[in-house]
Amino acid sequence: MKKLLKYLFLFFPVILNSQEAVFQYQLGYGSFQLKDVKAMFDRVGLTFAKTTEYFPSNYLYSPSLGIISGQHYCGLKVTLFSTGARSHIADYSGESKADMIVNGNRLGFFYRYNIPHESKWNMYLQFEPGFVFSKLKIYEELVIGRRKIIDEILHFKSKGMYFEPSMGFRYKPLNWLHLALGCGYEIDAFGKMNLSYASNSNIKYNGNDKIKWNGIRLYAGLILVIPNDNQNSM
């Protein structure tokens, strides 16, 4: 996360020299394909236990910094998201569970074109390529009575690229305040999983497994526009 924020700070000089600087915060909701991760859980998960969570859709959080010039809007954007799965069974004799938690961070450059319209509403088209960094944690535990029989941990990391085309609507109640609603689809590439930590684990995994977050994205955003007085006075 710290590395992603550094890229946003590096973008500050461009913002300071622009006509209008923009801060945007988006709250999103998305589905996650995670094909290889789900297949791994199906191998790791307890066949005799109940699956209580299976990689549900979840919220996305996206702060961004950018510049606006006429109908053109571009900048850098960070997106944070996560999901997971669990199988679990317990009775008087003990319990057994398997957890998989997946976290993702995206750093992307976006370009948005606001289609001109005479009213305060207008439609926009956006293109966003970038990098996605993921972490996968696997925990397996078997307890009989008060004795822990199995305690296994695996950590994976992956780096990939993504592209997300999207479209939506912007509402401009004030010159300095814009609201936006949009939807898009994330397409991931690469993202091969690399083992970073293992503890007492006999879990087998495919060396070609990848973390791909492909899926639908829905967004609601708040955009603050800050005119550059130094530029206006030149």
Mean pLDDT of the chain: 85
Strands of 92-230 (E only): list them. Answer: 94-114, 121-144, 147-174, 177-190, 194-199, 215-227
Give the pLDDT mean for 89-100: 83
Answer yes or no: is pLDDT of 27 > 50: yes
- pLDDT confidence of residue 200: 65
The domain ranges of the chain are 2-232
Answer yes or no: is pLDDT of 231 > 50: no
Separation of alpha carbons 72 and 111, rounded Å: 7
Token digits for 71? 């109908």
For residues 54 and 201, the model is more confident at 54
Give the pLDDT mean for 9-31: 73
Secondary structure (3-state) at 7: helix
Separation of alpha carbons 98 and 41, rounded Å: 9
Cβ atoms 203, 155 nearer than 8 A: no
Residues facing 50 on adjacent strands: 88
Cβ atoms 198, 12 nearer than 8 A: no
Cβ atoms 154, 203 nearer than 8 A: yes
Residues facing 218 on adjacent strands: 29, 183
Answer yes or no: is pLDDT of 124 > 50: yes
Kindly report the backbone phi and psi dihedral angles of residue 38, in degrees, each rounded to the nearest multiple of 5, phi listed first: -65, -40
- pLDDT confidence of residue 187: 98
Q: What is the amino acid identity at position 172?
A: K
- pLDDT confidence of residue 23: 92
- pLDDT confidence of residue 2: 53
- pLDDT confidence of residue 143: 81
Separation of alpha carbons 175 and 92, rounded Å: 64
CATH of domain 2-232: 2.40.160.20
Answer yes or no: is pLDDT of 36 > 80: yes
- pLDDT confidence of residue 100: 92
Answer yes or no: is pLDDT of 14 > 80: no
Separation of alpha carbons 218 and 30, rounded Å: 6
Cα dihedral 31, 163, 76, 65, rounded to 10, equals -40
Asked which of 3-12, 23-32, 75-84, 207-216 is least confident by mean pLDDT, the reply is 3-12
Give the pLDDT mean for 87-112: 89
CB proximity list for 74: less than 8 A, separation 6 or greater? 66, 67, 109, 110, 111, 112
Separation of alpha carbons 70 and 168, rounded Å: 18
